[in-house]
Amino acid sequence: MKLASRVAQVTPSLTLAISAKAKKMKASGLDVCSFSAGEPDFDTPDHIKAAAQKALNEGKTKYGPASGEPKLKEAIAQKLQKDNNLNYKPENVIVTNGGKHSLYNLMMALIEPGDEVIIPIPYWVSYPEMVALAGGKSVLVTTDAATGYKITPEQLQNAITPNSKLFVLNSPSNPTGMVYSPEEIKALAEVVVKNNLWVVSDEIYEKILYDGAVHLSIGAASPEAFERSIISNGFAKAYAMTGWRVGYLAAPVELIKACNTIQGHSTSNVCTFAQYGAIAALESSQDCVEKMRLAFDERRKVIIQRIQAIPKLSVTEPKGAFYVYVNIGQLGLKSTDFCNQFLDNYNVATIPGVAFGADDHIRLSYATDMTSIEKGMERLGKFVQSL
Ligand code: PLP
């Protein structure tokens, strides 16, 4: 079969592949500890499920507006005002099939051949692939532990060319768990504004913060930054709603209209009754979010302590999300070899850094139970010792 050439532009998701392999091993009866999945291990809170069930019973089972239920768009606009100090109206919002789809819509609407998209390394796996699918060029900027794996304003400035169109910012970050301080965000915003760039801020982990870390949306850095900002977010991580597939993009109306046109000919509206679950998530008490955050924080402390006790591994303490990003550079193994050997010989699933653009690192997700964390870290110590 002669497939379209765009297929060759993208690599299948390594994280999904490893998670699937770990699940298969588990199903075959092996005692697998999985640190691979980027998904909360909690079930969706009951009141959110109840709202979707009620919507189902009430017949909210039909096509809706492609850009989302008006009530949800209104609730999202209010959330952006209240939580993020961003002055968006419902017409500035499109409801999408998850944060992944909101970013995909954006790339399709904004990026074309010749356009450059600046992406800091390590990056979330899908950013460069989406840019490639849109025909654009990713300009990857390496960061390291010295700056907490965060791009500096100087690095951003140096990466800019006449073809630069968009800068992708993700804080708290997947895979590092690093959080840009408000001062760092403001300094990046100045570079964005000065160079007439667009910035997309992927804020999907904004609610998962530790040790007093503060999330500032880059759009709230200044009125000028607001004009150049696009916000991507979703319900998957904060509300344990990964399978619901509800996310959103907030941006200037012209861009939202373009995404709406694309969405109108591709997915149309997000599952109607799922959107009613999302409304309940935003409009009800946020205690469930805090409960999960506290549980993640407990696990974070344990996993960090265990990794720090293993010679030859180094780790920077994450202040957000639910990932630890571990430097395995001293071991002399490529990240894929490390992860394959660890999974095959010790039944522990982790993600190779090469998926995020850094082959001397691995990522562990601690969105798993404490017993698996204890067991998995013991095996990590043994594996590293054996090398
Ligand atoms: N952005 C980042 C940084 C992520 O880690 C993820 C999921 O892993 C997403 C976006 C997409 O989330 P979803 O499509 O499940 O809403």
- 138-157 pLDDT, tens digit per residue, is 999 999 999 999 999 999 99
The answer to whether residue 34 is domain-embedded is yes
Tell me, yes or no, whether 74 and 204 share the same domain: yes
- Which of 256, 283, 310 is the last residue in one of the domains? 283
- pLDDT tens digit sequence for 64-103: 999 999 999 999 999 999 999 999 999 999 999 999 999 9
Tell me, yes or no, whether 222 and 306 share the same domain: no
Nearest Cα residue to atom 5 of ligand 1: 174
Tell me, yes or no, whether 19 and 89 share the same domain: no
User: In testing the pocket of ligand 1, which one of 201, 237, 323 has its CB within 8 Å of the most ligand atoms?
Assistant: 237
User: In testing the pocket of ligand 1, which one of 36, 100, 106, 107 has its CB within 8 Å of the most ligand atoms?
Assistant: 100
The answer to whether residue 53 is domain-embedded is no
Q: What is the pLDDT of residue 18?
A: 84
- pLDDT tens digit sequence for 259-295: 999 999 999 999 999 999 999 999 999 999 999 999 9
C-beta of 40 in contact with ligand 1 (< 6 A):
no
pLDDT of 158 above 90? yes
The answer to whether residue 52 is domain-embedded is no
- Which of 283, 316, 334 is the last residue in one of the domains? 283
Q: Which residues contact 163 (CB under 8 A, 6 or more apart)?
A: 114, 115, 116, 137
The answer to whether residue 303 is domain-embedded is yes
User: In testing the pocket of ligand 1, which one of 76, 149, 174, 244 has its CB within 8 Å of the most ligand atoms?
Assistant: 174
Tell me, yes or no, whether 142 and 209 share the same domain: yes
Confidence (pTM)? 0.96
C-beta of 100 in contact with ligand 1 (< 6 A):
yes
Tell me, yes or no, whether 125 and 76 share the same domain: yes
Domain CATH number, residue 299: 3.90.1150.10
Tell me, yes or no, whether 81 and 222 share the same domain: yes
Closest atom of ligand 1 to 173 CA is: 3
Longest dimension (CA), the chain: 60
- What gap in Å lies between CA 141 and CA 149, rounded to an integer? 11
pLDDT of 229 above 90? yes
Tell me, yes or no, whether 188 and 305 share the same domain: no
Work out the percent of the chain whose per-residue pLDDT is above 70: 100
pLDDT of 13 above 90? no
Tell me, yes or no, whether 244 and 330 share the same domain: no
The answer to whether residue 266 is domain-embedded is yes
Tokens linked to 330: 């001293």
Per-residue pLDDT, averaged over 342-359, amounts to 96
For the chain, helix (H) and strand (E) counts, in that order, are 13, 13
Q: Is 272 helix (H, G, I), strand (E, B) or coil?
A: helix
Tokens linked to 146: 């010295």
Burial of 367 (0-12, 13-18, 19+ CB in 10 A): buried
Burial 103-121, CB ≥16 within 10 A → b, else e = bbbbbbbbbeeebbbbbbb
The answer to whether residue 139 is domain-embedded is yes
Residue type, 296: F
C-beta of 204 in contact with ligand 1 (< 6 A):
yes
- What gap in Å lies between CA 386 and CA 234, rounded to an integer? 41
C-beta of 229 in contact with ligand 1 (< 6 A):
no
Tell me, yes or no, whether 216 and 341 share the same domain: no
- What gap in Å lies between CA 118 and CA 153, rounded to an integer? 12
Domain range spanning residue 117? 62-283
The answer to whether residue 54 is domain-embedded is no
Tell me, yes or no, whether 333 and 234 share the same domain: no
Q: How many domains does the chain have?
A: 2
Tell me, yes or no, whether 356 and 217 share the same domain: no
Binning pLDDT at 50, 70 and 90, where does residue 19 land?
A: confident
Q: What is the pLDDT of residue 351?
A: 96
Domain CATH number, residue 109: 3.40.640.10
Residue type, 107: M
Tell me, yes or no, whether 106 and 184 share the same domain: yes
The answer to whether residue 203 is domain-embedded is yes
- Which of 243, 262, 283 is the last residue in one of the domains? 283
Residue written as token pair 């768009």:
73
Instruction: Give me ligand 1 centre to Cα 9, in Å.
Output: 21
